[in-house]
């Protein structure tokens, strides 16, 4: 497998090594259905054959407009095994955003999840003249055959490889050929197309395998958006290592599916851990009495053990006995929520708060935080068993170089995982690399014994009018940890004379809190205006302020009328805050904070 020069060769090599092992598991009418690697190859071969029958040429783009599902993966492998390149589009993208990506990428064929996604493409058909065919996963073909089904494409490809070998199609695809165009969900303006080569993914698969973090007998639960590089890199790790993956991108099915699938590892974004934490803490508080006391006692015992483990030490006999009881009575329930077999989670896509990670570690759940950008094929740094330090994103993957810019501590990265360029953006590409080929990440960090600690996003740093720098993400994470009723928080104050905050309430946890306080009759909207709710938040903010230097303290805050979501355009698909979009939407509210000066 070490001599694979492209992703197709990696795929073929995996099939040859373990043809009868389970490759994928996916939801079906019968519950969950499995595919072996050989069965996966047969499906991929027909898709590749269909694309070649339609005339796909090397490196020509096939876009995938779909949520995470088995067909997404088959379409991706089918494209790469036909020597094409994949363009990714989020299912949440608007018709205009889809048009921009399809035109900019020069896409020729589009895979679409459903009739709903096809309707977007029909709406913009006049703007995308280069798109020759739309292939729908589960939907209806059109009279003019502009839209065909995945089954129809597969039928076209079924006889393609009678006279030549499927593997031969990609034998001449160079490691420097384009494999994937991922459009970053920018917080402003049009997204940028990141050109990732076959060698980027080959490198990532080698680097992850070298950590010995993942094993052949693992079972992954994959729900992350595959249009995002974090989900995509786990696909490449699977090809190299060969573990099975259960695929279902429906986030609302996450908890139910974990109990059924019983995975051994899961990739997730911090927002998921924040929600689980809020649910656990909220549940303990709602139970009250001895149950709340037991929960607090167990967490304190867990924290003592966690801190010893982080130093490489073991607990003494007394603490070990307490920890055993805490595990049996409290922590086992959390493990049960995840199916009971999870060895660890991998967190990426956004910063994970150290206190949140320590909370889970105290409860016996290990989260290995990693870091990378779309521009570095997702995984550049990751914690793993032999090198694990909470509050850091771990050491660099073997073969990735890192240094910090002397002027401001910006993280610079160089290596095979780094993109070739921004598609059709030579000036922006030139700005992103320095003269020695180092990629400027836009993130600020520190290096400690090879472990990277991210302190903030360079462009997100707030500089108050008094000249003090404030890292908003760290403050927001602390606030969400302190108060489980907060879903999202936005710290504001760039070029202002003090810091303020917008708070969105978590619909489930605020209702639970309201029930305890005898406010059951109030709607979500009424709770956002309620004085008791405001007083509760004031208490949490005041407690946080006591731990901060004066220039970082939150002087004023307001409760938003609705939660911040992906659907309303305030979060990215990896559930990060779209800072500028939120500030623009609530500009009047933010400006009002500063009209009368400080209280």
Determine contact, residues 353/486, Cβ cutoff 8 Å.
Answer: no
Determine contact, residues 206/242, Cβ cutoff 8 Å.
Answer: no
> What mean pLDDT value characterizes the chain?
93
pLDDT at 285 over 90: no
Token look-up 């090198």 returns 387
* Domain at 7-215+226-241, CATH class: alpha beta
pLDDT at 2 over 80: no
* Structural element, H or E, at residue 38: helix 37-53
Tens digit of pLDDT for each residue in 540-587? 999 999 999 999 999 999 999 999 998 888 988 778 888 988 999 999
Determine contact, residues 302/323, Cβ cutoff 8 Å.
Answer: yes
| Domain chopping of the chain, boundaries | 7-215+226-241, 268-457, 461-593
CA nearest 114: which of 231, 250, 245?
250
pLDDT at 163 over 80: no
Determine contact, residues 475/353, Cβ cutoff 8 Å.
Answer: no
pLDDT at 598 over 70: no
Token look-up 């292939």 returns 135
pTM (2 d.p.): 0.88
The two most distant CA atoms of the chain are separated, in Å, by 80
Per-residue pLDDT at 1: 59
Tens digit of pLDDT for each residue in 94-106? 999 999 999 999 9
Structure tokens at 477: 């994470």
pLDDT at 533 over 70: yes
- Rounded mean pLDDT of 428-454? 95
Tens digit of pLDDT for each residue in 112-155? 999 999 999 999 999 999 999 999 999 999 999 999 999 999 99
Going by pLDDT thresholds of 50, 70 and 90, the confidence category of residue 185 is low
- Same CATH topology for 7-215+226-241 and 461-593: the answer is no
Determine contact, residues 160/52, Cβ cutoff 8 Å.
Answer: yes
Read off φ and ψ for residue 54, nearest 5 degrees: -80, -10
Q: In which order are the strands placed within the sheet that holds 499-505?
A: 486-492, 499-505, 554-559
CA nearest 558: which of 529, 536, 522?
529
Going by pLDDT thresholds of 50, 70 and 90, the confidence category of residue 597 is low
DSSP string, 184-209: P--SSSSPPEEEEEHHHHHHHHHHHH
DSSP 29: T
**Degrees to nearest 5, angle at CA 143 with 101 and 46:** 65
CATH of 268-457, one of 3.40.50.300, 3.40.50.12780, 3.40.630.10, 2.60.40.1480: 3.40.50.12780
Low-confidence winner among 321-325, 428-432, 433-437, 462-466 (lowest mean pLDDT): 462-466
CATH of 461-593, one of 3.40.50.720, 3.90.1640.30, 1.10.730.10, 3.30.300.30: 3.30.300.30
DSSP string, 220-266: EEE-S-TTSHHHHHHHHHHHHH--EEEE---GGGHHHHHHHH--SEE
């Amino acid at each position: 497998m070490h001599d694979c020069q492209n992703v197709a060769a990696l795929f073929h090599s995996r099939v040859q090594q373990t043809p009868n092992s389970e490759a994928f598991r996916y939801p079906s009418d019968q519950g969950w259905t499995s595919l072996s690697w050989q069965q996966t190859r047969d499906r991929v071969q027909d898709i590749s054959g269909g694309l070649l029958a339609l005339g796909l040429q090397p490196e020509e783009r096939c876009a995938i407009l779909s949520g995470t599902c088995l067909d997404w993966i088959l379409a991706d492998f089918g494209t790469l095994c036909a020597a094409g390149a994949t363009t990714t589009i989020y299912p949440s993208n608007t018709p205009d955003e889809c048009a921009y990506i399809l035109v900019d990428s020069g896409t020729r064929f589009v895979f679409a999840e459903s009739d709903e996604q096809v309707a977007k493409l029909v709406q913009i058909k006049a703007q995308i003249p280069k798109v020759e065919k739309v292939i729908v996963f589960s939907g209806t073909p059109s009279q003019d055959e502009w839209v065909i089904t995945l089954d129809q494409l597969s039928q076209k490809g079924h006889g393609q490889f009678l006279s030549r070998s499927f593997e031969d199609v990609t034998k001449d695809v160079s490691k420097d050929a384009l494999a994937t165009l991922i459009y970053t969900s920018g917080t402003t303006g049009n997204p940028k197309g990141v050109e990732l080569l076959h060698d980027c993914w080959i490198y990532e698969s080698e680097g992850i395998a070298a950590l010995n973090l993942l094993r052949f007998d693992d079972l992954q639960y994959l729900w992350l958006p595959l249009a995002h590089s974090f989900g995509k890199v786990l696909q490449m790790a699977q090809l190299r290592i060969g573990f099975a993956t259960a695929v279902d991108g429906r986030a609302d099915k996450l908890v139910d599916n974990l109990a059924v699938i019983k995975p051994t590892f899961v990739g997730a974004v911090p927002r998921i851990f924040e929600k689980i934490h809020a649910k656990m803490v909220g549940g303990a508080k709602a139970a009250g009495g001895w149950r709340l006391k037991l929960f607090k006692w167990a967490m304190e015992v867990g924290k003592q053990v966690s801190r010893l483990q982080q130093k490489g030490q073991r607990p003494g006999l007394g603490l070990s006995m307490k920890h055993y009881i805490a595990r049996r009575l409290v922590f086992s329930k959390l493990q049960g929520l995840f199916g009971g077999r999870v060895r660890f989670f991998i967190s990426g896509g956004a910063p994970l708060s150290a206190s949140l990670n320590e909370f889970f570690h105290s409860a016996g759940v290990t989260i290995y935080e990693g870091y990378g950008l779309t521009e570095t094929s997702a995984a550049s740094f990751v914690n793993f068993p032999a090198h694990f330090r909470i509050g850091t994103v771990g050491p660099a993957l073997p073969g990735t170089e890192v240094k910090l810019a002397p002027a401001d501590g910006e993280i610079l990265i160089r290596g095979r995982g780094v993109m070739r360029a921004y598609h059709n953006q030579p000036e922006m590409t030139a700005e992103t690399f320095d003269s020695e080929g180092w990629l400027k990440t836009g993130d600020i960090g520190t290096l400690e014994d090879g472990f990277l600690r991210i302190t903030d996003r360079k462009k997100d740093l707030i500089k108050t009018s008094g000249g003090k720098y404030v890292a908003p993400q760290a403050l927001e994470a602390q606030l969400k940890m302190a108060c489980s009723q907060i879903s999202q928080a936005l710290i504001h104050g760039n070029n202002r004379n003090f810091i303020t905050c917008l708070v969105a309430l978590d619909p489930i946890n605020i209702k639970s809190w309201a029930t305890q306080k005898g406010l059951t009759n109030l709607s979500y909207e009424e709770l956002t205006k309620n004085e008791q709710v405001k007083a509760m938040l004031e208490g949490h903010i005041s407690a946080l302020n006591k731990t901060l230097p004066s220039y970082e303290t939150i002087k004023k805050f307001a409760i938003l009328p609705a939660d911040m979501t992906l659907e309303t355009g305030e979060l990215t698909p990896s559930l990060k805050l779209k800072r500028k979009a939120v500030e623009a939407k609530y500009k009047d509210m933010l400006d009002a904070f500063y009209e009368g000066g400080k209280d």
